[in-house]
Amino acid sequence: MSATLCAMESFDRSLKHLLALAPNEVLGFGLGKQVQVIRAVSPTLPGRGREVDGCYLIESGGQALVIHVEFHRRHQAQEALAIDVAEAQLRLYRRESVPVVSLVWDLYGRADEPVTSEREVVIGPSGPRLRCHFRRVNLRGMTWRELLSGAPPSLWSLVALTRDGQNQEALRDTYDAIARRSLPDSAKADHLAVLWFVAEAEQVPIQWLLALLSREKLMQSTLYQQIFSEGEARGEARGEVRGRLKHEADAIQRVLAARLGFVDLDVRQRVRAETDELCLSEWYQEALLCTDAESAKRLADKIRHAPVSITPTAE
């Protein structure tokens, strides 16, 4: 898994964690009014298996509503987004039997667009068409100072998503503002962990973050501990795979050398360069069945002429 993908996974987890920490404030900011969360609703869409980013039953103005949250982090066409949102609205309404309001946090918005707006997207090129309505939140539409002065404190850790919040002054003032909050140390650490992961995903220089946040402070955060532990586990798993591939590559070369008396440089380099687990495993199994020079020569020729595997990179 690439470092970029790991950063985006942490980013995604951070947004969902922040929503779970303070759903009243996060939803209230997006809807532009005070709300009272009654309970979380299962994010898994009935009959679909896809999970939305957040789902809550709220009370607003004496009416019960389901608020469906999507963090729009892909450069996805508006119609494709609208289809996803409309599908979620229909499936959630069928299950919960109350009106559904969709709140789309556009993480790739533009600085010249409003912070919150009502959107209606027409689905279909012509004839009878569907209309999907949702409320859009665009933090790029505000400055980092506006976020700290006008947004609920629970959103401060998203400062790097504002139009100008990727600088040292913004990060330092946000850190100070979070540190002054009357919260348990673990809760502060959670908000600081969100600050770190979101800023990292926005490609803020790591040295700026290290100047503000120590690992000891972040380790008080449940979110950070979970992501850090999962990262270590993935690293150990990758290490095990690399070790097994090296063992198989070495064994293939030893068998060929034993049966042929030598292994030419092209074959040795080709074996060491192979990154496809299935391909290397197939050669390894064939090597174990080589009982004479003829079978070993056939395997060596096969390896020599095999096309180089292309390992897909995560984006």
For residue range 202-257, list pLDDT tens digits in order: 888 888 888 888 766 777 787 777 676 654 434 444 555 676 778 788 888 888 88
What distance lies between CA 240 and its chain's CA centroid? 24
What is the average per-residue pLDDT within 49-75?
89
Contacts of 100 (CB under 8 A, 6+ apart): 65, 66, 67, 68, 88, 89, 92, 93
Burial class (CB in 10 A: 0-12, 13-18, 19+), 210: exposed
> Is 88 inside any structural domain?
yes
257/35 Cα distance (integer angstroms): 73
pLDDT for 315 beyond 50: no
> Is 6 inside any structural domain?
no
> Is 216 inside any structural domain?
no
Please count the structural domains in the chain: 2
What does the pLDDT read at residue 228?
A: 63
Which span out of 4-8, 99-103, 180-184 was modeled with the highest average pLDDT?
99-103
> Is 221 inside any structural domain?
no
> Is 74 inside any structural domain?
yes
Q: How confident is the model at residue 100 (pLDDT cuts 50, 70, 90)?
A: very high
Range of the domain at 296: 241-305
Lookup: tokens for 233 = 């586990």
> Is 271 inside any structural domain?
yes
What is the average per-residue pLDDT within 156-178?
95
> Is 146 inside any structural domain?
no
What percent of the chain has pLDDT above 90?
41
Other CB atoms within 10 Å distance of the CB of residue 194: 27
Question: Where among 141, 164, 199 does a domain terminate?
Answer: 141
Question: Where among 106, 141, 176 does a domain terminate?
Answer: 141
> Is 166 inside any structural domain?
no
What does the pLDDT read at residue 142?
A: 96
Question: Where among 83, 106, 141 does a domain terminate?
Answer: 141
